[in-house]
Amino acid sequence: MQSSGISQVKGVDSGILINAQGDQWARFRMEQLSTYGGIAIAGIFALIVLFYVVRGRIPIEGGLSGQMVRRFSDYERIVHWTLAIVFLFLAITGLILLLGRPLLLPLFGKDAFSLLASASKEGHNLFGPLFLVSLIMMLISFARRNIYERGDMTWLLKGGGLIGDGHASGGFFNMGEKTWYWMVILIGLVIAISGLILVSPNFGQGRMIMGLSHVVHTIGALILMTVSIGHMYLGSIGSEGALEGMKTGYVDINWADAHHDRWGKVCHEENLIISAEEYARLQGEKPDVTAEMATTEQVK
């Protein structure tokens, strides 16, 4: 039971000697949050491994053509990678703080883990505001193309092509990518705001608000981390030709037709496709003479 007294120290909750709610929060963090958070992270890794074993890498029907189309500008890729790198750093340091005591302390020992946890805490607090800045940049840069439109629900009902027969039609961003984008923006804002409350304890919020902010911050971060693991898998080894878009800004036109057919149709109609040789020149690479000769013979 909690009661207030009189103290010479002036501040929020300064008259409370024993805070029973704080003890409840500490137990919830150590028992529920740590346990179920670890299970969620381990579970998503297990599901991805199982999916890869059963389904394998998602191929492009007919393979890559070598003909490329510009998908992202250099600025858009910088915004994406800035947010991604900051998020990964915060995710790793946050997991060390959440799961480090039961998992890492027995491995590293008290002294080494104490140093690692302290560095993680300082780094997490230092880079947290940068996450908010990069999140706002992401919102400004990509919001217009992530507005839901006709045809998106069909993509969802077909599970992106994994459920039923027929092609799951998609625009520049499909329904899955749009949903992930808005999850990042909305949940990311909740994480950022609750994080600012946690690193600014002298702005008038009491222990109850601090404890609630920590719970919201941790649960939101765990949700983004689990879904981001699937996003990283599908954007790299899980789907043929997907990673190229964020590496160079260009994607193969066959990839565009397979995963974003409505946008691919626009690329064909507006003649936005470039040859493999032109793409190599743009990347500063030496063109494949054999491929260029084959292309010339096809034209003849």
Nearest alpha carbon to residue 93 among 112, 126, 131, 121: 121
Sequence spans of domains, the chain: 65-287
Q: Which CATH class is domain 65-287?
A: mainly alpha
pLDDT of 13 over the 70 cut: no
Mean pLDDT computed over every residue of the chain: 85
What pLDDT was estimated at residue 299?
Answer: 40
Sign of the alpha-carbon dihedral angle for 102, 43, 191, 26: negative
- Is 50 exceeded by the pLDDT of residue 294? no
What pLDDT, in 10s, does the model give residues 189-202?
999 999 999 988 77
Convert the pLDDT of each residue in 116-128 to its tens digit. 999 999 999 999 9
Whether the per-residue pLDDT at 263 is higher than 90: the answer is yes
In order of 11, 43, 233, the CA distances from 202 in angstroms are 9, 38, 41
Residue 300: predicted pLDDT: 42
* pLDDT value, residue 163: 58
**Tokens 């900051």, residue?**
86
pLDDT tens for 235-250 read: 998 889 999 999 999 9
**Each residue of 86-120: pLDDT tens digit?**
999 999 999 999 999 888 999 999 999 999 999 99
How far apart CA 182 and CA 153 sit, in angstroms, is 15
Q: Which residue do the tokens 């230092």 mark? A: 126
Is a pLDDT exceeding 80 seen at residue 157? Answer: no
Which two three-digit tokens encode residue 272?
């936005």
Name the nearest CA neighbour of 256 among 56, 68, 74: 68
**Alpha helices per DSSP H over 175-206:** 175-199
Kindly state the tokens that stand for 149: 């439109």
Residue with tokens 């032109």: 278
* pLDDT band at residue 151 under the 50/70/90 scheme: confident
Q: Is the pLDDT of residue 24 over 50?
A: yes
Residue 14, pLDDT > 70, answer: no
Mean pLDDT in residue range 20-36: 79
Distance CA 115, CA 216 (A): 26
Q: Are 60 and 242 in contact (CB under 8 A)?
A: no
Q: What letter does residue 264 receive in the DSSP assignment?
A: H
